[in-house]
Structure 1
Amino acid sequence: MRLVVVGNPYGMHPESFFPKTFGKDYKTTIELQCLDWIRDEMTIFSHIDHKMESGHNKESAFLSGILKRDASQYPDGNISLDQMIGEYLRSEVRFPTLNVSAGPSIQESWSRTGVPTPILNTTQMYNKLFNNSSASEKKAELEVWQRNQEMLKVLHGQHAYSFRNLGQDDKVQMDQYLSSLSDLNREINSMRKWQNKAKPKFNMPSFIDYEQEYNTIFDMLVLGLQSNSTRVATVTFPGQFKTRDIGLAGNYHSYTHNGKKPDAVNGLQQIEIFQLKQVSRFIKKLKAIKEPGQNGSMLDHTIVMFGSSMGYGGTHSNRNLPILLVGGGLKHKGHVDMKRKNGENTMLCNLYLSILHKFGIERESFNTSVGTVDI
């Protein structure tokens, strides 16, 4: 099983994204038209979120449900969904997770110790997935890794010795620090294990606009998944979206604050349709490739999720998040109303817990979850 999460920082225009009726026979919307061909393998969720108050700066909690400032209140901190799955799979793949964006992006991926994971640009993604080191570079890498591991061993020993004399609060911080050292050591061991295994080949095209660049990002990701270089990835559309590449004069954020003016609403729709068309193109590629060694296509073994931790940028609302799932062999149900009997929205972490279960990660909870979702 694989997971790919595609997100944006400003949510979606509700009237253009959410269907007006529920069930499998929903009438599609202007923004979902590009995904109508896969509707039998797609679920759109309404009334699901992290119960966060309105405003920016909540986007960082998209995949965790927890702001970093509140991480100490939870046993796994503010670890994100992708990183928890990556931990589980890290012995089986070259890269436990990939986090990519074509521009400066929101930080939505976090380790269990609250460390943000690096977000790769297009060139960095290519180098990581496909660029093989020369013999001299490999030798230099080994020397650096050996020195780093020796240093980590010393640091771990020094701080582990002082652990017994610390107060409870300091012990919590020290435990997080020691865990970070252990994570770094495991990462180095993984790099050493994979160093002499050749990476797949990819012909990097030149690109002059956003469409070509995101085509390249998703094409690289398809090959990265197909070659089992990774099974977990996030792709984010940045807030500094290059609107001029799709024929718009204003900036992304200004189109979210459109005052319901038709031209401005149309501009926002064009941005959001561009994003969903990229998702649709990616899904088509996965569906066209047979799953190696198993029945079905790669899409049947890949959960593709699109969404945001902001419901709608025009109101800065963080409720009723635009979330959809495609593929993964799930029990898709069309457009689903997740409002509970008490009138409250379902916690998004309930869905995340169910996704963890699909990977064989048996847990009773994930961060703010209070149950599961039948998928």
Structure 2
Amino acid sequence: MKKINRRALLRNIVTTTSSLPFLYHLPSLGAQEAPKKRLITTYSPNGTTPSEYFPSGSENNFQFKRILKPLEAFKAEMMVFKGVNIVRRGRGGEHPLGTGQLWTASELLPKVAGEEGEGDVGWASGPSIDQVVANHIGGNTAYRSLEYAIAAGATSEVRTRVIYKGSSDYIEPEQNPFAAFERLYGANSPFAGDADAQRTVRASSVLDKVIGDFNYAKRYLSAQDAVLLEAHTEYVRDIEKRLQVVAPQACDIPMLGQRIDPQVFANMPQVFQLFSDLLASAFACGQTQVGSLQWTRSGGQGYPFINVNAHHNSAHEPYGTPGSEHCIVVNTWFNEQLAYLLKALKNMPDPSGEGSLLDHTLVVSGNELGEGNNHSHNNIPFVMAGNLDGHFKMGRYLDYSRQGNKGYSHSRLLVSIQQAFGIQKNSFGNFNEGPLPNLT
């Protein structure tokens, strides 16, 4: 191939900025980049049922029980933890304290007069792990981080928000996948804005101009990059088609024609998967390296599509009762969604040409409670998945519950994560205890 002026080529072929990030990172257009490390945090609420969650067996030879069974295909690329605890610091009931401290390890502030909240507590007093990592690695991407949530609620208070830029500075997550799609692929195009006059234009594909750029660029691409380009194009086209599903109730934001309403709980499975695919797509085209997925909120939710009407209530039912069974069903379903996300990352080639997105990504899943039945903060059901360039030794079940005071503070897990991304500090939040042992 002839040596080309990368900047001049991109300037000449790009008609919309939506196509630029992906093309910019293709090696045969002059990029010489190593694979990028990426981080995703996921949150699900109300604790778990230990007897059906924690694996049996040993560190290297363990068997998943019912709740983790949907993740079987990724067992070799996962670590499951027991004995990693949210240690109480300061004020707050179990749900608020666990939610606010989950990714921050920082105690909750007192509630400000007139502020929404739970009891006497306000927001967490420090940044969340994803934002600390984003500040370190996200400076050269279009979006420092992307925050998505499903049915997190319109009211902003500590039980409904988990991501923080800093003390009392929570990030409002995007709860509408159509708005998220437009932000990623409709910026600076006729699809931006909400004017009625643009609704006809919106019915056509937001990718039309992007596809034109891609087709023109193919003549300059290596065979390997052409495959990457085609895979990414088809992936985003599939997302776009699913966003145009006709549903009983239309969303109030006029984007992309007829669409499902993300606030209707019956549509939740489709919304989960759309957000997972959007995040994988944003990673593939270099728009961000950090994302978060919040799966509902602490407290009551219903899941009619799996015949559970009150998750929070069922989490408090005695074990062995029909209500307790509902809690198991919900947590199993959450792990089906986690498996969908991991599959989306594994099926997407990395723009560097080296492996898949999952090979260079760390996905960390957490909950504000350990045992939902008694509001315990011990044995939080943390899972890490992905290879992150081999930084962590995956395929293991680590039980710390006999160490120290029934285990270790979860701040150690957050320290381990920040160190994996090159932040060499032994403290996180209100704790200065170093990383978890035996992870690398």
TM range (shorter): 0.7 to 0.9
1:105-254 matches, cutoff 5 A: 106-122=160-176, 123-134=178-189, 202-203=239-240, 204-206=243-245, 207=260, 209-239=267-297, 240-248=300-308, 250-254=309-313
Counterpart-to-counterpart distance in 1, 2:415 and 2:78: 19
Instruction: Spell out, residue by residue over 1:24-54, the C-alpha distance to the aligned partner (whole angstroms, 9 max, x if none).
Output: 2112100111111111111100000221276
Shift of 1:363: 2.0
* Match in the other structure for 2:43: 7
Give, as a single letter, the amino acid of the residue that structure 2 aligns with 1:37.
Answer: A
Give, as a single letter, the amino acid of the residue that structure 2 aligns with 1:57.
Answer: P
**Inter-CA distance 293–134: structure 2 relative to 1 (3 Å threshold):** closer
Counterpart-to-counterpart distance in 1, 2:56 and 2:148: 33
* Match in the other structure for 2:248: none
Counterpart-to-counterpart distance in 2, 1:253 and 1:266: 12
* Match in the other structure for 2:367: 308
Contact 1:348 1:369 in 2 (8 A): no
Instruction: Spell out, residue by residue over 1:317-363, the C-alpha distance to the aligned partner (whole angstroms, 9 max, x if none).
Output: 11210001011232114210123643442121111112112212222
Equivalent residue of 1:304, what SS? strand
* Match in the other structure for 2:100: 60
Confirm or deny that 1:97 pairs with 2:97.
no
* Match in the other structure for 2:321: 262
**Inter-CA distance 136–343: structure 2 relative to 1 (3 Å threshold):** closer
Shift of 1:137: 7.1
Instruction: Spell out, residue by residue over 1:205-247, the C-alpha distance to the aligned partner (whole angstroms, 9 max, x if none).
Output: 4246221121111111111111121111111111354411222
1:45-84 matches, cutoff 5 A: 45-52=81-88, 55-58=94-97, 59-69=99-109, 77-84=125-132
Shift of 1:130: 2.5
Contact 1:11 1:307 in 2 (8 A): no
**Inter-CA distance 273–341: structure 2 relative to 1 (3 Å threshold):** closer
Give, as a single letter, the amino acid of the residue that structure 2 aligns with 1:39.
Answer: K
- Identity %, equivalent residues: 19
Counterpart-to-counterpart distance in 2, 1:228 and 1:15: 41
Shift of 1:65: 0.9
Equivalent residue of 1:57, what SS? helix
Counterpart-to-counterpart distance in 2, 1:347 and 1:260: 27
Give, as a single letter, the amino acid of the residue that structure 1 aligns with 2:55.
Answer: P
**Inter-CA distance 95–27: structure 2 relative to 1 (3 Å threshold):** same
Give, as a single letter, the amino acid of the residue that structure 2 aligns with 1:223.
Answer: S
Counterpart-to-counterpart distance in 1, 2:271 and 2:95: 27
Give ranges in structure 1 of 5+ residues lacking alignment: 71-75, 139-199
Instruction: Determine which structure has greater relative contact order: mean sequence separation of CA pairs < 8 Å that are 6+ residues apart, divided by chain length.
Output: 1
Contact 1:347 1:369 in 2 (8 A): no
Equivalent residue of 1:94, what SS? coil
Shift of 1:134: 4.2
* Match in the other structure for 1:88: 136
Counterpart-to-counterpart distance in 1, 2:86 and 2:327: 24
**Inter-CA distance 30–112: structure 2 relative to 1 (3 Å threshold):** same
Contact 1:52 1:319 in 2 (8 A): no
Segment drifting more, 297-306 vs 253-262: 253-262
**Inter-CA distance 336–216: structure 2 relative to 1 (3 Å threshold):** same
Equivalent residue of 1:230, what SS? coil
Please report the RMSD computed on the Cα atoms of aligned residues, expressed in angstroms: 2.4
Give, as a single letter, the amino acid of the residue that structure 2 aligns with 1:362.
Answer: Q
Counterpart-to-counterpart distance in 2, 1:218 and 1:372: 29
More helix by percentage: 1
Give, as a single letter, the amino acid of the residue that structure 2 aligns with 1:325.
Answer: M
Contact 1:340 1:346 in 2 (8 A): no
Equivalent residue of 1:209, what SS? helix
1:29 counterpart (42, 65, 80): 65
**Inter-CA distance 93–19: structure 2 relative to 1 (3 Å threshold):** same
Counterpart-to-counterpart distance in 1, 2:83 and 2:167: 30
Counterpart-to-counterpart distance in 1, 2:326 and 2:190: 51
Contact 2:367 2:380 in 1 (8 A): yes
Counterpart-to-counterpart distance in 1, 2:190 and 2:354: 39
Instruction: Spell out, residue by residue over 1:91-129, the C-alpha distance to the aligned partner (whole angstroms, 9 max, x if none).
Output: 211111222112125211112243111111123322332
Shift of 1:84: 0.6
Counterpart-to-counterpart distance in 2, 1:46 and 1:261: 22
Give the TM-score normalised by structure 1: 0.76
Confirm or deny that 1:345 pairs with 2:407.
yes
Counterpart-to-counterpart distance in 2, 1:215 and 1:332: 25
Give the TM-score normalised by structure 2: 0.65
Equivalent residue of 2:293, what SS? strand
Regions of 4+ moved over 6 Å: 135-138
Contact 2:75 2:395 in 1 (8 A): no
Counterpart-to-counterpart distance in 1, 2:39 and 2:301: 24
Give, as a single letter, the amino acid of the residue that structure 1 aligns with 2:141.
Answer: V
Instruction: Spell out, residue by residue over 1:242-289, the C-alpha distance to the aligned partner (whole angstroms, 9 max, x if none).
Output: 4112223x2111110122243212211111111100110111121122
Give, as a single letter, the amino acid of the residue that structure 2 aligns with 1:116.
Answer: Y
